Structure 1
Amino acid sequence: MNSFTDNFTINGVTLTAQPICRQNEVLTPDALEFVAKLHKATAERRQELLRARQERRQQISKGQDPRFLAETESIRNDPEWRVAPPAPGLEDRRVEITGPVDKKMTINALNSGAKVWLADMEDSSTPSWRNVIQGQLNLTDALERRIDFTSPEGKEYKLRAAEELPTIVVRPRGWHLPEKHMLIDGTPVAGGIVDFGLYFFHNARRLIAQGKGPYFYLPKIESHLEARLWNDIFVLAQDLLGIPQGTIRATVLIETITAAFEMEEILYELKDHAAGLNAGRWDYIFSLIKNFRTRGPRFVLPDRGQVTMTQPFMRAYTEQLVRA
């Protein structure tokens, strides 16, 4: 165990959780200083964007349908701009596997033969302090090929030798989720900044040396301005570590009804850091229910098993994503 006690402060970051084994390897003074810089540069804007979410939800509940933005029409109509070309390790994404970043899943995913592993620190991972820190350790250990696991039944799990691992794409938590165990000036750091910042700080150079790079899936985005905030974090993070701009690549999950009307704008904001869009079925359905639940029979859905991708409103959303 390390020597941390509750409410221990390092470089302005206060840690309130009971410490776990090896957390000193993740929560180094330099890493915490890096996370603090990302937080301080973006905390106020993040809160403004979260308030804008609430305001937009209230407008929809009162009868205002989401729409394509008039103020960004020039972006949608401009045929000249393009996002960056595929980054090393992201050229072929025909088979992707996803799952949490616990030891067993990490090893199984990397042994799966998939082209990409979506290392999920969001929906499939309960954000307990142990899971947050152990997940970071597992990712670094995997990149160093020193990870192994023995089940309670005695079954051993190890990375296959001499095989190229799938490209790792990390999904950090969404903008709405705080990390209550990490405070700066009494305010929780955004869970997404913790997940992104610690992984990027410890592994960006390691990934580049292995011929790939730090890649991410961005969940729960509701507007192009939220994508702009992520892009600003990417720019700052690369500058702080002296890594060339555009090294980071991010795939955006379009899984909210409002983001569906801003797909081109989201790509435009990320531009040099964009690795494409992906459709998130279940969260998209939930977003529709959450936003339109007070709008009467027009938005009543059948049993969720019948809400497939062939339903007209789901097909329209995926076709718009492909066009973007």
Structure 2
Amino acid sequence: MTITAESQTTPIRTVGAAVRAEMGPTITITGTMHDRFTDILTPDAIAFLTELHHRFAGRRHDRLADRMRRRFEIGNGHDPRFREDTAHIRDDADWRVAGAGPGLEDRRVEITGPTDPKMTINALNSGAKVWLADQEDATSPTWQNVIGGQLSLRDAIRGELVFTSPEGKEYRVTAEQTPTIVMRPRGWHLTEKNIDFTDRVGRTMSASASLTDFGLYFFHNAQALIDSGQGPYFYLPKIESSEEARLWNDIFSFSEEYIGIPHGTIRATVLIETLPAAFEMDEILYELRDHCAGLNAGRWDYIFSIIKNYRGRGARFVLPDRSKVTMTVPFMRAYTELLVKTCHKRGAYAIGGMSAFIPNRRDPEVTDRALEKVSADKRREANDGFDGTWVAHPDLIPAAQSEFDAVLGDRPHQLDRQRDDVEVTAEQLLDLRIGRPITAKGVRDNVSVAIRYIEAWLRGLGAVAIDDLMEDAATAEISRSQVWQWIHQDRRTEEGERITAEYVEEMITELLAQTPRTDSSRFDDAADVFREVALQPEFPAFLTAPAYARLLSENN
């Protein structure tokens, strides 16, 4: 079934697949229409998507070109710096952001997770203050997951969501107080290949995944969320500049006007998870100030961004085993302390990073040791001034909340803690010296985690429990990018082995030989994707780009 709708500038109607350029900009749904998809892909919603793409798709391409230019400059020795042309924004002490919207006043513990029905119910029953409803790194973007996730959110917001297990057991939202929903759309770099956009001159391209995820969720749920006493709230991923923040702000303003809600109703929390964005925190807040609630320290993607940008700059920029790059190493301390100071100066909430441990019910001692680490991590964040934090599993909520309760007490935040003691320089943000080795185990763990995660992703799973940790696309990115960098920077393990493509290939062969298979397993495909993104001379900016083509071939 193919559904096409035109821009609001012409009458909305359903037509066939052949779209003529003179009809004006159009959105065409090319993916299979599964059960209830028409509840989301309505003619009016498609018309809204068409208008979003007509107005903003070109600017998205401009911002992606800026990213490529910036990576080229860093790769050629031009380190990022605090911008001179925006110094007046940083120096102006008077401006503030909009701050918390209704239902976002207390964010001390946020749970993250994908938007399938079962995980949606689990999150809403978890007892967290906020749920990051993740259409991005924790979701494999099969067509079923993309639109099915929108259905889960729509039904949950209206109190209609029910999940029936294969055994026939029904699950519902039973909590009296459910978390405030903050939805995370996919990043600017991703496309939705089940939706085509044809512009006014007849050029057809895949739709923007960001505009698709945002547009469908906002169009269907904004008013219902307002009526419930909250609002349409978003986490913005992978932002690299204030110009990208300005683009999102313009999208928000247009969307509010389009459906007739007050300017500033939308609230956004920006993930500072790229190296360039760390140098523009003030500017990002400023561009989004009418719609901004805060910033989040997206630690895993931030580490990935550093490796990606400095992968070819020599031994000084090579990080050790992933497990050794903790939040207490100097460059991560500088990044998080700058984030808290910047947020509180502007009246924005500072939200801490992910604790991804999954309780091991077979080994209570493993769980107890891990919970001690989780508590220590959250204690550090609360004492540093963060207003809230992330966890990946409901069982981590009590440990995280107790640490923030100890610091916050009855207060919903600690915006009054200005962190005037913090002064962070560009050199501190770029000081990657850790002084720890690369080990054979570290290489093997990266190969194992990346391939096992990609295999699950290709089967439609975006958040995967591996070795007692919840892995998502960000942690898989660290794993494969470290392998690529270690090979191309001619590194050796602590044991003396030179890290080469051949050395890694032996580990791949060993992993594939030892891993049990089922009829639905896709380990051979996953290994091929890993070879493409970790062992080839070229470095794909995101592993999900080459993986997406294989995903489409099996899941539609």
The question of a shared fold, defined as TM-score above 0.5 by the shorter chain, is answered with: yes
Report the CA distance between 1:91 and its aligned residue.
0.2
1:175 has 2:188 as partner:
yes
- Matched residues, number: 318
- The corresponding residue for 1:217 is 235
Cα distance in structure 2, aligned partners of 1:137 and 1:18: 15
Post-superposition CA distance 1:42-70 (Å, at most 9, x none): 11111011011001100000000011000
- 1:153 positional shift: 3.5
- The 5 Å alignment of 1:70-109 reads 70-109=84-123
Which residue of the other structure, out of 132, 148, 159, is the alignment partner of 2:173? 159
- Which structure has more relative contact order (CA 8 Å, sep 6+)? It is 1
C-alpha displacement at 1:148, in angstroms?
A: 1.1
SS of residue paired to 1:135: helix
- Aligned match for 1:147, one of 161, 166, 172: 161
Q: Please give the alpha-carbon distance, in whole angstroms, between the structure 1 residues aligned to 2:295 and 2:92.
A: 19
**Match of residue 51, structure 2, among 29, 37, 50:** 37
Query: 1:61-76 counterparts in 2 under 5 A?
Result: 61-76=75-90
Question: How many Å separate the matches in 2 of 1:74 and 1:9?
Answer: 46
Secondary structure of the structure 2 residue equivalent to 1:267: helix
| Counterpart amino acid of residue 303 in structure 1 | D
The superposition leaves residues 236-256 of structure 1 with CA deviations (integer Å, 9 ceiling, x where unpaired) of 000101110000000000000
Once the two structures are TM-superposed, the CA of residue 322 in structure 1 deviates from its matched residue by 0.7
AA aligned to 1:77 is D
Number of the residue aligned with 2:15 = none
Q: Is the 8 A contact 2:77 2:313 kept in 1?
A: yes
Moved over 4 A (4+): none
Q: State the distance in 1 between where 2:89 and 2:213 align.
A: 31
Output the CA distance in 1 between the equivalents of 2:125 and 2:36.
Answer: 25
- How far apart in 2 are the matches of 1:82 and 1:10? 40
Structure 1, residues 213-268: CA drift from partner, whole Å, max 9, x if none?
A: 00000000010100000000000000101110000000000000000000000000
Aligned-partner SS, 1:86 = coil
Q: Which of 25, 35, 51 matches 2:39?
A: 25
2:140 aligned residue: 126
1:10 is aligned to 2:5: yes
Partner of 1:258, secondary structure, is helix
Which structure: larger Rg?
A: 2
Judged with a 3 Å threshold, the aligned counterparts in structure 2 of structure 1 residues 107 and 230 are, in CA distance, closer, same or farther, namely same
Cα deviation for residue 32 of structure 1 reads 0.6
- TM-align CA RMSD: 0.9
Unpaired runs of at least 5, structure 1: none
| Corresponding position: 1:190 with 2:208 | yes
SS at match of 1:133: helix
Please point out which of 244, 251, 255 is paired with 1:237: 255
Could you tell me which residue of structure 2 aligns to residue 267 of structure 1? 285
List per-residue Cα deviations over 1:134-153 (Å, max 9, x = no partner): 11110010011111112223
Matched to 1:8, the amino acid is I
Normalised by the length of structure 2, the TM-score is: 0.57
Counterpart CA distance in 1 for 2:253 and 2:93 is: 25
State TM-score, norm by structure 1: 0.96
What per-residue deviation string (whole Å, max 9, x for no partner) do you get for residues 255-296 of structure 1? 000000000000000001001000011100000000000000
Whether contact under 8 Å (2:99, 2:294) holds in the other structure is: no
What SS is found at the alignment partner of 2:234? Answer: strand
1:155, distance to aligned residue in structure 2 (A): 3.6
Q: Which runs of 5+ in 2 are unaligned?
A: 7-25, 199-203, 343-556
Between the aligned partners of 1:149 and 1:24, the Cα distance in structure 2 is 20
| Alignment partner, residue 125 of structure 2 | 111
What is the percentage of aligned positions where both structures have the same residue?
A: 63
Q: Paired residue for 2:351? A: none
Instruction: Please list the CA deviations of residues 57-115 of structure 1 after superposition, one character each: whole Å capped at 9, or x if unmatched.
Output: 00000000011000000000100000013210000000110100000000010001111
The answer to whether structure 1 residue 280 and structure 2 residue 298 are counterparts is: yes
